[in-house]
Amino acid sequence: MLQISNSIVNINDKDTLFQIVVDSAVEIIDKADVASILIKTKNGDFQFRALHRCPLNFISDIRLGMDETFLRNYNRENLYQSVIVNHSDEFNERYMDKGTFQRLNGLNLLNIKSTICTPIIVDGELYGFFNVDSKKSHGIFTEEDQVIMEYLSGQLSIAIRNQSLFEKTLFLSQYDGLTKVYHRHYFEEIYSNTYKRALRYGEKFSLGIVDLNDLKIINDIYGHIAGDQAISLFSKVLKENFRESDIIGRYGGDEFIIVALNSQIDQIKDKFHTIQKTLIEKPILYNNKKITITFSYGISSFPEDIVDSDELIRIADFRMYENKKKQKQKAL
């Protein structure tokens, strides 16, 4: 058990972690024949994420509602405590959705008689369930087996929390927290690699720089919360109109930079026009006042404009400021 604990707390892939835990549970608990882990989804139901000696792809789309779970029916007042179920077969036939029951039964996954169901608690919240089952006999598990399951579940909770912290740290090392696009440092790293590949293989791309208009005025009149909402909404619409293969970064406070692979300047202009139309149609509503977001942009193209990577950014930046000047002159 100590070896298993030392191994699972250092695993950074959840699917691998879950599989090791269910396999280990069957190895440690002699009476166990089957083990599974179900994780709570955003909708509040539960999805199979690991099974002992059974391909997960057969049932990965199956969901169990809370009312179909052992804990809800045996520990209604305390979902954070494990439970021994002495007649699992009778329970499943009685409480499980008929379609789900028939499907799992057809895969010989419900030929079980006893179960230990242990909650997985992460940061004080119910994260999922960890089950071991016996096909041999009703009432076969003991309190000692229950203690082992609770220990493994506790180690699993620690590993999940560690991985969540790792994922959060990794995310923050690459993405801007407000806009969920790449922050400048990481963008520059990806842009450098993209530029080198384009130079080597003769690929083309367009580079756009975008700056929100009058964000300072929004901040001064409505406050920085409204300004952050403007930035957040703009980045959301920006991501919706570019492809996943394109690279988007927050280059400064209200300045964004985009690398659109295999795209021409006119194609990027069309996207920006669509984005502006969307923002005009859907202004921010802040304190019952509508705030319309507008922006200025500049685009450069590789290799048509120049082949130097830094100069491409300077050209796009210069064209963005020229565009901003024109918009101000029209407003006057």
Our measurement of the distance from residue 5's CA atom to the centroid of its chain's CA atoms, rounded to an integer in Å, reads 26
114 three-class SS: strand
Angle between helices 88-95 and 98-106 (to 10 degrees): 140
- Would you place residue 171 in the very low, low, confident or very high pLDDT band (cuts 50, 70, 90)? confident
The structure's pTM equals 0.69
What does the pLDDT read at residue 210? 97
**Segment 302-331, tens digit of pLDDT:** 999 988 999 999 999 999 999 999 887 776
Of 2 and 323, which is predicted with more confidence? 323
Question: Percent of the chain, pLDDT > 90?
Answer: 76
Tokens matching residue 27: 């190895």
What does the pLDDT read at residue 243? 94
DSSP state of 246: S
pLDDT greater than 70 at residue 9: no
pLDDT greater than 60 at residue 134: yes
pLDDT greater than 90 at residue 300: yes
pLDDT greater than 80 at residue 284: yes
What does the pLDDT read at residue 74? 85
DSSP state of 242: S
| Residue partners of 163: CB distance under 8 A and separation at least 6 | 11, 12, 14, 17
Question: Percent of the chain, pLDDT > 70?
Answer: 98
pLDDT greater than 80 at residue 110: yes
pLDDT greater than 90 at residue 60: no
Angle between helices 309-331 and 184-201 (to 10 degrees): 120
Strands (E), 7-107: 34-40, 46-51, 63-64, 83-85
- Would you place residue 45 in the very low, low, confident or very high pLDDT band (cuts 50, 70, 90)? very high
Please list the residues that pair with 249 across neighbouring strands. 182, 257
What's the whole-number mean pLDDT along residues 89-102? Answer: 94
| Bond into 283 cis (ω within 30) | no
pLDDT greater than 60 at residue 332: no
What does the pLDDT read at residue 76? 72
**Average pLDDT of the chain to the nearest whole number:** 91
Most confident of 14-28, 157-171, 245-259: 245-259
What does the pLDDT read at residue 202? 92
CA 215/CA 294 separation, integer angstroms? 9
What does the pLDDT read at residue 259? 97
Of 76 and 331, which is predicted with more confidence? 76
| Distances 61 to 1, 20, 56, 259 between C-alpha atoms, Å | 32, 21, 9, 36
Nearest to 227 by CA among 219, 235, 217: 219
Please compute, for residue 297, the number of CA atoms within 13 A of its CA located in the half-sphere on the CB side: 22
